[in-house]
Amino acid sequence: MESKDSEEAEKVSLELIAFLAIALIIIAASILVIKAREIVHSALFLALTFVGVAALFIMLEAEFLAAIQVLIYAGAVVVLMLFAIMLTRREKGLDYLGTKITLFKGAASLVFLAVILGIILAGRWYPARGIGEGSTQFIGKQLFSYYILHFELIAILLLAAIIGAIYLARREVK
Amino acid sequence: MIPLEYYLALSSAAFGIGAYGVLVCRNAIRVLMCLELMMNAANINLVAFSRYLGDAAGQIFVTFSIAIAAAEAAVGLAIILLIYRLYGTVEIGELKNLRW
């Protein structure tokens, strides 16, 4: 019994170390998205953030979502951002609004963060329970049975987004 | 398993950083990147709750949320390219036509 407890404790501490490492990567990369001087660099740091979030999904036993995260976010969205950066002019100088307003906005964000953290730490949360079934099978089954209407709506939304994006970005043909 | 609060704290920190970036950044593309950061923070929350409550419905919501984020990025970047073609800049401080 005691050995099982110590084994459990070791597992928790390993999980904690992994979590802290991933959290450090996510926080540092997302700060660098804002602070990087070159906007291309901030796009690459955005990709790093997305990969960190994918690692977090794996820790939470959501392998399917981790795969989607890497494919869609780190793959498609970041490449889209890079294309947009390449197609626009490079801005010179500091990429921030005036310093006085920046300070105020930073303070507002910090207050917001403090309020949320206070609520989280004051609340009492449920103890952990696992997902019984393999989560990927469960998602697949649910997506095509209970959530089929939502699935179709998302399909229509994506179609509308594609048409809208093409319409907006096309060049006028004379 | 580590406590749920850790995930919530991480996601709120990521959300705060994203909100700060949206408020502060001048380049419209960077603002869009910070929006994606905020969406990711919300996704972390959903997946963590789905894991800790033993209900996989949260993961399905995240699937939808990722699809919507992809659509949003595509349309947003198309609008930014259009603005660039019209005004020659993507600085949001310069776009004053819709301010009134």
Residue A37 is encoded by which pair of tokens?
């001087």
pLDDT value, residue A30: 93
Render pLDDT for B32-53 as a digit per residue (tens, 0 to 9): 999 999 999 999 999 998 888 8
Closest CA relative to residue A19, chosen from B47, B16, B3: B3
* Shared-domain flag, residues A4 and A37: yes
pLDDT in tens, chain A (174 residues): 456 667 767 777 888 999 999 999 999 999 999 888 888 999 999 999 999 999 999 988 888 899 999 999 999 999 999 998 888 877 655 555 556 667 777 888 888 888 888 888 887 776 666 555 567 888 888 889 999 999 999 999 999 999 998 888 787 765
Do A121 and B5 lie within an 8 Å CB cutoff? yes
* Shared-domain flag, residues A89 and A100: no
- State how far the Cα of B13 lies from the Cα of A113, in Å rounded to an integer: 7
* Shared-domain flag, residues A16 and A79: yes
* Shared-domain flag, residues A57 and A15: yes
Asked if A161 contacts B74 with a C-beta cutoff of 8 angstroms, the reply is: yes
Print the domain residue range for A24.
1-93
Domains assigned to chain B: 4-91 (1.10.287.3510)
* Shared-domain flag, residues A78 and A163: no
* Shared-domain flag, residues A82 and A144: no
A55: closest chain B residue by CA: B44
A52 SS3 class: helix
Do A27 and B14 lie within an 8 Å CB cutoff? yes
Return the residue matching tokens 């802290």. A20
Kindly report the average pLDDT of chain B as a whole number.
87
Indicate whether B97 pLDDT > 90. Answer: no
Residues 6+ apart with CB under 8 A from B51: A60, A61, A62, A128, A130, A131, B58
Distance from CA of B17 to the nearest CA of A (A): 7
The total number of structural domains in chain A stands at 3
- State how far the Cα of A151 lies from the Cα of B54, in Å rounded to an integer: 22
A131 phi/psi in degrees, rounded to 5:
-85, 125
CATH of the domain at A11: 1.20.120.1200
- State how far the Cα of B52 lies from the Cα of B41, in Å rounded to an integer: 17
* Shared-domain flag, residues A46 and A7: yes
ipTM over 0.85: yes
* Whether A173 contacts chain B with CB within 8 A: no
* Shared-domain flag, residues A65 and A148: no
Asked if A155 contacts B35 with a C-beta cutoff of 8 angstroms, the reply is: no
A 23-82 → B contacts, CB under 8 A: 23, 26-27, 30-31, 33-34, 39, 42-43, 46, 49-50, 53, 56-57, 60-62, 64-65, 68-69, 72-73, 76-77, 80-81
* Shared-domain flag, residues A47 and A67: yes
Render pLDDT for B49-92 as a digit per residue (tens, 0 to 9): 888 887 788 889 999 999 999 999 999 999 888 888 888 888 88
Asked if B65 contacts B42 with a C-beta cutoff of 8 angstroms, the reply is: yes
* Shared-domain flag, residues A138 and A62: no
* Shared-domain flag, residues A101 and A165: no
